[in-house]
Structure 1
Amino acid sequence: MNITILGGTGLVGSALQQQLSTQHRVTVFGRQVFRSPKTVMEAIADAELVIQLAGANIGARWNAIYKQEIWDSRIESTKMLGQALQKLDKTPRIICASAIGFYPQADDCSRHYSEDHTQAGDDFLAKLSVAWEAEAQNLVDDEKLVITRFGVVLSKQGGALAKMLPAFKFGLGGPVAGGQQCFSWIDIDDLSHAMQFIIERPELRGIFNLSAPNPLPQKQFANLLGKTLNRPTFMPLPLWQLKLMFGEGAQVLTHSSSVYPQRLLELGFEFRFADAESSLRHLLIDLQ
């Protein structure tokens, strides 16, 4: 299959390219492909499947300007993809990324949100996800569209875990903002295999949660990370310090998400790393 990944030079796109290239012809473009509808059309002209991942990094310090970049990099790029698709003679299947930030904040990890929960949250991350998915739904007919809501992706190569590792390795890690918020995550290898699982079933459509089936309190995750690294975890990162570091972007680390991958599990997908301890051991010990 000819697969084109847009916005695919980051953490997830690189992992997908490696996973899919063994069986498919995969072409990857960074966000610079969104110079015009024409450049996007040229990029996807021969694609049977387009994976739209484009979006500015949300794990950075936010101000008004950067929040607009976060928004535009997702919404405007998806609009431009739609304009390009209209010029093609044959419409490819589309997989468009979104995020579990769509869901309302969870009081704890006891209640999970699965794909059949349609009421979004009311914060910036939820509004962003709603707008992003609305643009995705304008791209193609429903039978050709899959929307994947990613949990926090765990990898040594980037993302939240890579940013946490230096402090934890020096014994300076601990719970974030009290650590009571629920943490929904997915191992980068499981994410790649889940995407391949969806890709190889062309009849699939609609929303899929790409998160492990066992979310946990952030404090428990911090303790497991310290245990895996054989380091103490008694240095909490308080909310005021987070706000100094990330501004409004602190909400990425304090957002409480309890999300369940119901559709994947019902279809028979098997997570290799269904709990955080096995994922951390895999990423930090087995892959050394």
Structure 2
Amino acid sequence: MNIIMTGATGFVGQQLVALLSQQSHQLTIVTRNVSHATQVLGSNHRYVDNLSKLENLNDFDTVINLAGEPIVGKRWSNQQKQRICDSRWDITAMLTQLIKQSDTPPTSFISASAIGYYGRQGSTPVDEDSQAHNEFSHQVCSEWEHLALKAQSADTRVCVLRIGIVLGKNGGALAKMLPPFKLGLGGPIGKGLHGVSWIHIDDLTHLIEHLMITNNAQGVFNATAPNPVNHKRFAESIGSSLNRPACIPTPVIALKLAMGEMADLIVEGQFVLPKRTLASGFNFKYPEINPALDSILKA
């Protein structure tokens, strides 16, 4: 396939480029920094530094949209909230417009979202049909998804991926969590009862590939393993994979003082189930947390 992709230099994007390249797909990478992207991803791809240089997407079979300012990284000032929104909304709107301007549009548009769409849900499991709690993370994701789904037509399938915590080597959320665990100082956040909805990086990249080639797949899909866990179990599993204790809790108040409103993403959590993802015929290689973490931390 001839694929155009945003967000390719990110943690997920790099792994996806590697997978798709192995299968001889032709990739066009949209990036603001072509020299950096070429260093990271290699010179055997086509690079475009601005979508405004394209008039349509007639030459592409699939669009993959992973672009976005990291949502957990900087404290949520009003300016940072706007950057989070603009970095997702603007490029998604541009891709949708280019698809609409195409005489022979791509057959599929796979666009990232996040389980932050659901907002705080307590201990109640949620799936793709569940009602969301209206807060900032929901507002970001709701508009992000809306802009992508506007590209849906008889010619173009739109698949929106609500992505959970992505677990993999050398990056992502896990890399930020590991240092205290490696020192034997890790543990749950607070009482550890809130949900952790996670997915192994290999399952996420293969899910994107699955949606590319599954001709009847469209709409919203949760990109989370079918067995979410609470944070206490999650911390214990990290400790087990590292052969370290994991019993020192992080006080919730400390996170809220350090991170402000952004701490709610970590403290509240959700138990997200991939109902439509499983119904599409996708099989998870890592449905359980312990084997998933072992594959990353013991390899």
Contact 2:4/2:62 (8 A) holds in 1: yes
CA contact (8 A) 2:28 2:48 kept: no
Q: Indicate if the aligned counterparts of 2:19 and 2:205 stay in contact, CA closer than 8 A.
A: yes
Question: Aligned-pair RMSD on alpha carbons?
Answer: 2.1
Three-state SS of the structure 1 residue aligned to 2:113 is strand
Count of matched residue pairs? 282
2: CA distance between counterparts of 1:281 and 1:257? 23
Partner AA of 2:83 in structure 1: E
Q: What is the Cα deviation at residue 166 of structure 1?
A: 1.1
- Mapping 1:109-258, distance limit 5 Å: 111-117=124-130, 119-141=131-153, 144-258=157-271
- CA distance 1:247–1:31, change in 2 (3 Å): farther
Q: Would the alpha carbon gap of residues 31 and 262 (structure 1) be closer, same or farther in structure 2, given more than 3 Å must change?
A: farther
Q: Is the 8 A contact 2:118 2:133 kept in 1?
A: yes
The secondary structure found in structure 2 opposite 1:149 is strand
* Percent sequence identity over aligned pairs: 39
Question: What is the letter of the counterpart of residue 211 of structure 1?
Answer: T
> Which residue of 106, 131, 139 corresponds with 2:121?
106
| 1:75-94 equivalence runs, <5 A | 75-92=89-106, 93-94=108-109
> What amino acid does structure 1 have at the position aligned with 2:150?
N
Q: CA deviation at 1:247?
A: 2.6
Distance 1:90 1:216, change over 3 A: same
* Structure 1 position 58 matched with structure 2 position 71: yes
SS at match of 1:167: helix
TM-score of the aligned structures, taking structure 1 as reference length? 0.91
AA partner of residue 118 (structure 2): Y
C-alpha distance in 1 between matches for 2:222 and 2:99: 25
Residues 225, 273 of structure 2: 8 Å contact kept = yes
Q: Deviations over 1:36-65 (max 9, x none)?
A: 6523547x5522100111110012122221
- Equivalent residue runs for 1:15-34 within 5 Å: 15-23=15-23, 24-30=25-31
Q: Which has the higher contact order (CA 8 A, sep 6+)?
A: 1
Unaligned runs of 5+ in 2: 34-46
Q: Secondary structure at the match of 1:55?
A: coil
Indicate conservation of the 8 Å contact 1:113/1:258, yes or no.
Answer: yes
**Which AA in structure 2 matches 1:19?**
L
Q: Secondary structure at the match of 1:241?
A: helix
User: In 2, are the aligned partners of 1:41 and 1:85 still within 8 Å (CA)?
Assistant: no
TM-score, scaled relative to structure 2: 0.87
Kindly indicate whether the alpha-carbon contact (under 8 Å) linking 1:34 and 1:80 is maintained by their aligned counterparts in 2.
no
